[in-house]
């Protein structure tokens, strides 16, 4: 207490000359540990040349960390202070009624900078040997590989929850065109039903070592995800991600062109007719966090079939072997403008300019109707 009070008193005296900010990270979720330090470091670079601004972060208690090894890695490489000091500062600022140090929650969505900056996590040379060891489990270890990461079904209702079996057809489709496939998870009872020499069902806590996620994700061609912490790690490593059936804009990574989105179908429970983006906006569902809100407002969220997932993933994979000409820029601009018309303040505060894109396959199949309201 005496140390913190002395510090606050000193900072109060020099407040006209120097401003102080502490960014509080969320250690309980793998995705936050992956991306929040990226955002912080980018902001830190923007202010580090100014003698009038001092910015630090705190990572919380290690006992609360979703991944202890990643927590330690981040804490070691990022300018931070212990969480107990931040708690004391926050308490005494409330008691005194004087805010000397600005304390903000970290962001993991302001990702417009990703394509123009290098990762802050260890890069490929750090993990080369371990990656080679894991890839030797494939029949053809020199193939490029794709990672699938799926948020598993649980007792908690969430539109992101899926069964891995829904993705198996897409995996075999990628193998047929020259990729290896890794289903990557921490630990699971929802195992792949298929066995294939070019497909690896990899549980880090069972089959691997700490930080194997980093070794694998840092060199993957791309990631297919239903939104999990692994896709956040992919973005931190500047690897592209294809999001399957991303139903809620609230959870999408709209600020980076590394994110490609396939949305599910939205069907009226009353009429049975498709619901468009304009409909969702009008119903207040275009910026919704709660999964149950859709059904409460008479909307069924219909996920893609296994065959549709395969077609979407296969089309996306083509971009890594050849240039696929498209003319969808007007549709991309249209869905962005529709979302911004109602939710510009939320989007700009959370993401900045929208750089994510809808999947080309999605726009050619049923996305056109979702965006325009027309079947033509």
Q: Which long-range contacts (CB under 8 A, 24 or more apart) does 333-341 make?
A: 334/371, 334/372, 335/277, 335/370, 335/371, 338/277, 338/278, 338/281, 338/371, 339/249, 339/277, 339/281, 339/286, 341/281
Task: Tally Cβ neighbours within 10 Å of residue 295.
Answer: 12
Give the Cα separation of 164 and 263 in Å (integer): 18
- Tell me the per-residue pLDDT of 248-286, one tens digit each, with 9 for 90 and over: 999 999 999 999 999 999 999 999 999 999 999 999 999
Q: List pLDDT tens digits, range 309-364.
A: 999 999 999 986 655 556 788 999 999 999 999 999 999 999 999 999 999 999 99
Q: What is the pLDDT of residue 287?
A: 96
Query: 306 and 245 in contact (C-beta within 8 Å)?
Result: no
Contacts of 312 (CB under 8 A, 6+ apart): 170, 242, 244, 262, 304, 359, 361, 362
Written as tens digits, the pLDDT of the chain (376 aa) is: 566 666 666 666 566 677 888 899 999 999 999 999 999 999 887 665 555 778 889 999 999 999 999 999 999 989 898 998 888 888 878 877 777 888 999 999 999 999 999 999 988 788 999 999 999 999 999 999 999 999 887 756 788 889 999 999 999 999 999 999 999 999 998 999 999 999 999 999 999 999 999 999 999 999 999 988 899 999 999 999 999 999 999 999 999 999 999 999 999 999 999 999 999 999 999 999 999 999 999 999 999 999 999 999 999 999 866 555 567 889 999 999 999 999 999 999 999 999 999 999 999 999 999 999 987 6
At 274 the pLDDT is 95
* H or E segment and range at residue 190: none
Q: Looking at residue 21, what is its pLDDT?
A: 87
pTM: 0.92
C-alpha span between 42 and 57 (Å, rounded):
13
Beta bridge partners of 224: 148, 242
Give the domains, in start order, of the chain with CATH numbers.
2-108 (no CATH), 126-372 (3.40.50)
């Amino acid at each position: 207490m005496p140390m913190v009070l002395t510090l606050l008193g000193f900072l109060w005296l020099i407040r006209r000359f120097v401003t102080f900010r502490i960014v509080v990270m969320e250690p309980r979720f793998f995705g936050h540990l992956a991306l929040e330090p990226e955002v912080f470091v980018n902001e830190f670079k923007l202010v580090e040349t100014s003698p009038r601004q001092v910015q630090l972060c705190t990572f919380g208690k290690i006992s609360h960390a979703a991944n202890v090894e990643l927590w330690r890695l981040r804490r070691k490489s990022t300018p931070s202070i212990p969480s107990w000091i931040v708690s004391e500062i926050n308490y005494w600022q409330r008691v005194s009624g004087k805010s000397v140090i600005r304390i903000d929650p970290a962001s993991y969505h302001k990702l417009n900078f990703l394509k123009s900056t290098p990762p802050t996590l260890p890069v490929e040379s750090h993990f080369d040997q371990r990656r080679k060891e894991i890839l030797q489990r494939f029949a053809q270890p020199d193939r490029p590989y794709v990672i699938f990461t799926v948020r598993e079904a649980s007792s908690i209702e969430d539109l992101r929850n899926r069964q891995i079996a829904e993705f198996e057809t897409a995996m075999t489709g990628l193998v047929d065109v020259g990729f290896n496939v890794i289903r990557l998870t921490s630990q699971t009872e929802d195992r792949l039903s298929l066995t294939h020499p070019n497909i690896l069902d990899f549980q880090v806590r069972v089959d691997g070592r700490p930080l194997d996620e980093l070794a694998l994700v840092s060199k993957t061609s791309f990631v297919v995800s239903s939104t999990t912490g692994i896709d956040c790690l992919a973005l931190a490593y500047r690897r592209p991600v294809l999001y399957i059936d991303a139903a809620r804009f609230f959870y999408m990574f709209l600020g980076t062109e590394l994110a490609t989105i396939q949305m599910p179908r939205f069907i009226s429970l009353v009429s049975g007719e498709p619901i468009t983006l304009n409909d969702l906006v009008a119903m207040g569902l275009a910026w919704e966090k709660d999964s149950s809100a859709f059904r409460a407002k008479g909307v069924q969220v219909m996920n893609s079939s296994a065959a549709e997932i395969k077609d979407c993933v296969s089309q996306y994979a083509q971009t890594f072997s050849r240039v696929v000409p498209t003319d969808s820029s007007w549709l991309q601009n249209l869905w962005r403008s529709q979302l911004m018309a109602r939710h510009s303040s939320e989007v700009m505060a959370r993401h900045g300019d929208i750089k994510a894109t809808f999947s080309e396959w999605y726009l050619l199949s049923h996305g056109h109707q979702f965006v325009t309201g027309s079947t033509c």
